[in-house]
Every structure is written in structure tokens, then in C-alpha cells.
Amino acid sequence: MLDMFSLKGRVALVTGSSQGLGWAMAEALAGAGAHIVLNARNKEKCEDRKRDLEAKGSSASVQAFDVTDLAAINQAVAEIDRAHGRLDILVNNAGIVTRNLLQDVTEEQWSSVLDTDLTACFRLAREASKVMARNKWGRIINISSVMGVIARPSIAPYVASKAGVHGLTRALAVELASKGITCNCIGPGFYPGAQNEVVRRDKSFYDWVSNRAPAGRWGDPAELGGAVIYFASPASSFCTGQVLMVDGGMTISL
């Protein structure tokens, strides 16, 4: 029964995987047997993570590039294909957030967040799906947020991009299913990480988030492991176009 969760022989590209939630998901996929292609803009950090995985007996390589760079995306996917003859799993995790009230959001901030958090997902999925379709098997996993279905002040571009990721997930799912490719989405709640370090230092906000979720706490990045393995593995072969909120119950609670 557990064989359906095995990723042995699969190749997975995880964007934004040098730290935070991306690293936690890369670790989980590696533990299930996948070869992990680590990605971030900082190559040195990726190389450090590669050594971490190899020390645990896992297989990994590095493709360091900016996900908003279309030429770099095309080159990376081509290099993965040349090296492995396949790309089975894409985890679109890389993302940024800016904090500004609506009247102060600049055109540059809006474009930067949308380019990183939404457009990059589209571009990577487009290029990766070409390799997946050739092998008639693929898993695209987009990483959204609770902010894809609810909102809070000062992050309008982020909220818009994450809601867009949900729509993109459904669009890819209906188009790619006949090619043997599924597309699903994970919506994390509040987890500690570099993006929210500033607000986490505010004890009143930290406690408010903890009390807002029925689970009564922030999440542990490792708790995303089960969800990403499920969506990446044969266990989810008849599941596509879905958004799974891993948020301690935040989005279903008043």
C-alpha cells in the first residue's frame, strides 16, 4: 500500500527550495525517493542544501536561477531534461510579498509580486509540461496561501497573485489531464519563515494568528511534507485541479 507514495526514480524541481517551506518540501520529496533539483537565486545556498540531502543518502542537483527570468527557466528545464531524460514533478513554490497599503503600492511592487508569484508558475508549468507530456506522466504542484481565499490589509498584490494561482491550477488541470499530468495546489497557513519574520516579531500579531486558527498555533514547515508527497506520487493519480489548505483550520473557521 505504501508503494503508491514512493517517488523512487522520479525527478522533482522545487523552486525556492534553499530555505523555508520550499526546503521542507524538498526534504520530504527526497525522503520519498525523488531526485531533487534545488532552485533559488543564491547558488551557494542551494549547494549547501544539496550537501545536506546527500548526507542523508538522497540524490540532488542544483539549478540556480531567478524564476522571473524566462530565458533562465527555459535553459534550466532543458538542462534537467538533458541530464535525466525526464522531469516528473514541478513544485512552484518561489514567491515574494511586499507590505504596503493600497494607496502606497507602486507599479513596480505590483508587477514584481505578480511576476514572481503567478507568472513564473505559468511559465515553469508551460515548459515543464512539455517534458512531462513526452513521458505521459507528470505532477505540477502550485504553492498558494490562505491569502488565496481570505485577505488582510497591506498585501493586495500577494492576495491577488495567490487567488490567481488557484485559477491557474484549475486551468492547467483541465488542459493537461489527458496528457497524464495532474495539477494541484497546496495552500499553507501561517508558518515561520523569512517572509513573515517582521510580523512574527510582533507578539500581538503572532498570538492573534495562533488564536485565529482552530489548531491554536502556527504550522511547522515539516507538516507540508505529507501533502506534497501525496500530490507528487501515484497515490493522487485521479486527483487534479484541487486546492488543499494546510492551515490548522484557519480558512474554515469564523
Q: Give the pLDDT confidence score for residue 198 in this predicted structure.
A: 66
Share above pLDDT 90 across residues of the chain, in percent, rounded to a whole number: 92
Is 178 a domain residue?
yes
Q: Please state, in angstroms and rounded to a whole number, the distance separating the CA atoms of residues 96 and 138.
A: 26
Residue 65 pLDDT greater than 70, yes or no: yes
Is 64 a domain residue?
yes
Q: What is the mean pLDDT of residues 72-88?
A: 98
Q: Which residue has the higher pLDDT, 231 or 202?
A: 231
Is 251 a domain residue?
no
Is 253 a domain residue?
no
- What is the CATH classification number for the domain harbouring 43? 3.40.50.720
Is 155 a domain residue?
yes
Confidence tier at 40 by pLDDT (50, 70, 90) = very high
Is 169 a domain residue?
yes
Share above pLDDT 70 across residues of the chain, in percent, rounded to a whole number: 98
Is 222 a domain residue?
yes
Grid cell locating 226: 505529507
The count of C-alpha atoms lying within 13 angstroms of the C-alpha of 191, restricted to the half-sphere facing its C-beta, is 22
pLDDT tens per residue, range 152-208:
999 999 999 999 999 999 999 999 999 999 999 999 999 987 777 766 778 888 999
Q: What is the pTM of this model?
A: 0.96
Instruction: Give the active site residue among 158, 191, 206, 230.
Output: 158
pLDDT tens per residue, range 91-148:
999 999 999 999 999 999 999 999 999 999 999 999 999 999 999 999 999 999 999 9
Domain range for 177 is: 2-246
What kind and span of H or E run contains 131? helix 120-135
Active site residue 206: no
Is 254 a domain residue?
no
Is 7:232 a contact under the CB 8 Å cutoff?
yes
Report the number of distinct structural domains present in the chain.
Answer: 1
Q: Give the pLDDT confidence score for residue 254 in this predicted structure.
A: 86
